Each structure stands twice: as structure tokens, then as C-alpha cells.
Structure 1
């Protein structure tokens, strides 16, 4: 096999030892006419990486190279690509790398809901290849799922926008977040803190909702106008009765969300949207009689159109999420996994220094 078809990455090889991934060489996917090859410069660490690497989402085929918040430079463009990208461009890739692009969902900017969608890592292509993610030196992606990064967004800040940021931005955008709206963000973590920043930038009155007041100061620095500590205010459902137009649930787990209380805080026609994808064993329980005039739904990834809108918003308003950088490599990924598992992050990690780790292989 030619060297150009062999990539290198930091991979989970055993779910029982998931915090100690190893550097491997692996076969790249076939380069097709509509593909773009990207030399990775940095990659965000998403909560999904932890769920996948630890086996919480089932046994994804190993070796598993995670990472789906990828920023890098275009190094190769397929012969039939027509999205205007060229070698040298700085681009980003989120949590999806393929869909049919022909069904009604794809044609209405809902690619992530396509039944043939392929995740950036651990997903199966039509030819049977299992996708590998951004903890690697290169990725190959269909051109539709590659977007240019605005010049004034540093790469390490851009990366977490590509999945975590988009995942919370999509329900905000689709459900009318803006001036005159009261919007609650539940769970002020890697995704939720971005939700506070974006909702404020979109003009809404923002309520940060957390279990305790531990993150209260952070929430106000992020742009929240109000803070609710649900464990410290047992009557909060009554106090905030008929308040919210929209609540986006960004908590890692839905177990601590009392869906018999939250609907009472909603205005008639209000919407509760969860972006949480907890462990597969969790089951949502609620009493349907409390849902009069209120809807509860789940939101998947956002669309490429929405991602471009988000990047435009971040660029124009010069927004900055809160990140910490960690060098890519066996040691760095171990640190990121271990600290994420302990909740020791404020509020997002980005893996960097790819040239130092992979230059000898390129």
C-alpha cells in the first residue's frame, strides 16, 4: 500500500483500557472524486469522544480514532469538487462526513438526519470502511462537509465550534432565539457554556441553569443575565412559572433533569430541546399531563448551512469560547480523557501541536 494511503493517529484499542490509547498506523479511506484531504492542525475534544472511547455507546469497531472537531489545511482536492476550496485553505470538519445528499432531508439542509449519514469516526461508509477521526495526521472527507474557517477565528477556538458549538446553536437558531425571547441553557459545560455565549450574542435574555451555584460567576462572565441553581432553589419551578420561550438541555445526563417540573416554567408554545446523548442505558421518564401547550424534543447535529451561519456570527461578533489546549499524542489524549472523565475542564479542550507529533510520518 502506498504511503499516501496510510495515516497515523492516536487510537483506543481496548475499551477496558480506554484512557491509554496508542499511536497507530491505519489504512485511509479511498480518495474519491468529491473528497478533500486535510492535514489536521488541531481538534477539539468533545464529550462524544469520551462516550465513544469508553464504550458507553456500544462497541464501535476498534482501533477507534476519535475526534470530530477538526481544523486543518487542504492538501488534496478531488477532481469533481466544486465547493471552491483549494490546496492551502484553512477548513473545518464537524461530526459528519457523508450522507446521500439526494433525499428530502439532505436537500432541505437536514443532512444529519439522513438515514445514510456517516459519523466522522466509527461510522460505516457504503463500501464498509469504518471512519477515523481527527486525532490523526490526515482526514479524507466529502467536500460537502468541509467548511472554510473565517480568518479572525484562531484554529484552537474554531475547532470546538464544529460539533459542540453547532449542536447547541442549531436548536437556538431553529427555535427563534433572539431579541424578546427568554432562553434557558441547562448544563453549563463544554456545550452549555457555548450556548450561553451564542444565545446572548443572538439577543435573547439568557438564564443559565445548573444544579448548584458553583458556576454562577462563570455564567455571568459568559453573558448570562440570570442564574438558577436548581438544587439550591427547590421551588424554582414555581418561581419561574410561565417564563421561558425556549430551554436547551445541554447536560451530559438527563437523569437529574426533572421533566415534571421544567414544563411548568415554559410559556404556552414553549419548547424544551435536548441535545444530550447520554449512556445508552438511560431512559427518559415524565408525566404527560404536565405537557399542556409545551413540546419536548431532541436535536441532532446541525446542518452545514447552520455551521456557516454560526461561524459568521462568531466572526462578526468576535466571540471566544473558553478553551484549554493540550498537545496531541498518547500522553496528551490520556490527559484529556482522564480530566474529561473527572469533569476537570473549563470548558473545552483542543488538541494541538500536530506537527510535533506527526511530522516524522509525513
Structure 2
């Protein structure tokens, strides 16, 4: 066991505070990672405030982890000391079910995936995330960060990047396709970059035009305000694919009207409230309302390699660990462009 410093929420809705946690001893197939940077995801806020249900406390959030290997177990074959690596949203799964064998570990059907934090691992211990100095992870749930990516801008790719890359790839974003990214935040800004490089015609749909210059700079071809009713009239039947990053309940009937026939509205944002939907919005036009949950380990590595090849990283605001609570508050007010990243040397 190793004692490391961390920032944890002691109880639901309580401010995070500096503390210490225990990391397990390195096992045969484990790697010990010195964490250099950790992205701050909206999921961290929701979990620490029990927005998605009962949670485990004290909670150390953080599932956008970038660092350097400092120790490896005797059976490790994929990594060596000094390698630049990342850890995303999961740190274990059953490894035997059809989904795990297909590289869809995030959809494990035998006990579910083990989340990087706020979960009970298969060893019976609570998992703690990246708001800490070090983490121990089985090598099969670690990915390599290519040399072409700086660790600070790579960290948010471990959640935000794969969360956007996976549906864009699955639903065929590319030349000849019109893709809308709903929401230009921590997820959406990376989605714009990826969809643009894939060759799609990209439109940002945002509540206002406040970030229009940023959206166009990041690769969007068009930018519309959803607060303007004329937007829905002008863009009716326009898109092959809409990826919604919004974490608030939407008028899904209105957004489904923006799709071509057939088109898909894929949700990666998770509202805490239930939604309403008139099924005729789907039936007329053979449209699809779908969800997408991250990606597996192999696809996450594919995404990192893709981003490195095209020079894509997150737009970040680097913060000290002492600023985490302020960052949570600012995120809730949409006051970040576009991802907070913790400098873990300050923990």
C-alpha cells in the first residue's frame, strides 16, 4: 500500500478538501502512474453532488488522467517505466463477456465496468480517481499517450475525446455528411475539432452566439443560436447526425425535426431529469434517438492516435488543485473555455 495526497469530497455537496488515500501495492499486471494532469469533467460535479444517485464518500473524482509510469508489475508487457500513459473512465471489467471480448469493456454485462472512481472494484475496494498524486491500474485498462500530444491537453481526451469520437465514427461523420454538435463546452469543442478533421460539414448549435468566433476557429462551418426560433425553421431537415452534449433536458421533438430522413440524434450529455418525447418525431422519417457511452480501451487508443496525427488537443484552463471548488462552481455557470485541467503537482 502507498499513501498519497488527494482532493476528496467528504460528503455529498461538500467542498473538496485535501486529504490522503491508500493506493494498493503494484500487482503482477499493474502499473503505478505518477499523475501529471487530470481533466475536470461535468461528471465529477454530478457525482460529487449525488446528482446521479447515491455515491461513495469520501470521493476522489477524476477520470481524465494523464501521467508517467513509475513502476510496473512483474507480468506487465505493454508498458515500462517512463512511458506516457492515460486512464479514462474505467479501470476494470469482467474480460469474459461478449462485450468485453469485442472491445466494449464500457458495456460489460457481467457485473458492469469498474469506474475509475465512485465504484466498488472487483477486489471489493472503493475506487479513487485522478484528483490525486498517483494511481495503480491494470495494464489492460491503460492507454498510451502519443508523443505528439502534450499531457495537459491530452488529459481531457480520456473522457471528452473518446465520448465524442465514438459516436462520430459509429454514425459515419465524414465527407458528404452534415453534422451538428449541440453545445460548445468541454465535450462539444472537442467534437467540433474531430468532426471537422473527419471531413464532415460541421454546425454548432448553441443557446446563444456568444461563442461563435470560437466555434468557427475550432473548425465549425456554421453556428446557430437555439434560443432563436428561426433556427429551427431554417435548419429543418438539415442534418445527418446531431450529437448532443447538453446535460439539461431538451425539447427533443424540436431537435429531431432538424434531422434528415433517416438521421440520428445521439446523446452523450446526461440530464439529471427525465425527458418527454412524442414518438411521432421518430416514426415520421425513420429517425433514430440514441445514446453513446464513451468507448472501449482499443477505441480510446485509436482516438488518441487519431488526435495526435491531426494535432488535436483540448482547449484548457490549467488550475491548481486548490482551485477545484471554484472550478466546479464555474463549470455549473458554463464559465470555462473549454476544459479545466488540474496540475497534479499542486496537490
CA distance in 1, matches of 2:72, 2:234: 56
Q: 2:275 aligns with which of 279, 284, 301?
A: 284
Q: Does the 8 Å CA contact 1:68/1:121 hold for their aligned counterparts?
A: yes
Q: How many residues align?
A: 343
Confirm whether residue 107 of structure 1 aligns to residue 101 of structure 2: yes
Confirm whether residue 350 of structure 1 aligns to residue 344 of structure 2: no
Confirm whether residue 141 of structure 1 aligns to residue 134 of structure 2: no
CA distance in 1, matches of 2:278, 2:247: 22
After TM superposition, give the deviation of residue 235 of structure 1 in Å.
3.6
SS in 2 for 1:213: coil
Q: Does the 8 Å CA contact 1:238/1:264 hold for their aligned counterparts?
A: no
5+ long unaligned stretches in structure 1: 358-362
After TM superposition, give the deviation of residue 286 of structure 1 in Å.
0.7
What CA deviation, in whole Å up to 9, does each residue of 1:236-271 have, x standing for no partner? 333222211111000121x2x221122222122211
Confirm whether residue 59 of structure 1 aligns to residue 54 of structure 2: yes
CA distance in 2, matches of 1:248, 1:235: 20
Tell me the equivalent position of 2:39: 44
TM-score of the aligned structures, taking structure 2 as reference length:
0.95
Q: 1:13 aligns with which of 10, 13, 27?
A: 10
What CA deviation, in whole Å up to 9, does each residue of 1:6-48 have, x standing for no partner? 222111002242xx32221222235432221111111011111
After TM superposition, give the deviation of residue 356 of structure 1 in Å.
4.5
Confirm whether residue 275 of structure 1 aligns to residue 268 of structure 2: yes
Tell me the equivalent position of 1:360: none
Tell me the equivalent position of 1:306: 299
Q: Does the 8 Å CA contact 2:157/2:313 hold for their aligned counterparts?
A: no
After TM superposition, give the deviation of residue 313 of structure 1 in Å.
1.8
What CA deviation, in whole Å up to 9, does each residue of 1:300-349 have, x standing for no partner? 11112221221122111112321110012xx2222222222222101101
CA RMSD of aligned residues (A): 1.4
Tell me the equivalent position of 2:312: 319
CA distance in 1, matches of 2:141, 2:222: 36
Instruction: Specify whether residues 41 and 266 from structure 1 end up closer, same or farther in structure 2 by C-alpha distance, changes over 3 A only.
Output: same
CA distance in 2, matches of 1:109, 1:313: 18
Confirm whether residue 197 of structure 1 aligns to residue 193 of structure 2: yes
Q: Where do residues 249-268 of structure 1 align in structure 2 (5 Å cutoff)?
A: 249-253=244-248, 255=249, 257-268=250-261
Tell me the equivalent position of 2:153: 157
TM-score of the aligned structures, taking structure 1 as reference length:
0.91
Tell me the equivalent position of 1:86: 80
Confirm whether residue 73 of structure 1 aligns to residue 73 of structure 2: no
CA distance in 1, matches of 2:329, 2:32: 30
After TM superposition, give the deviation of residue 171 of structure 1 in Å.
0.4
SS in 2 for 1:350: strand
CA distance in 2, matches of 1:213, 1:355: 37
Tell me the equivalent position of 1:297: 290
SS in 2 for 1:261: helix
SS in 2 for 1:76: strand
5+ long unaligned stretches in structure 2: none
Q: 1:97 aligns with which of 91, 97, 104?
A: 91
CA distance in 1, matches of 2:16, 2:255: 40
SS in 2 for 1:15: coil
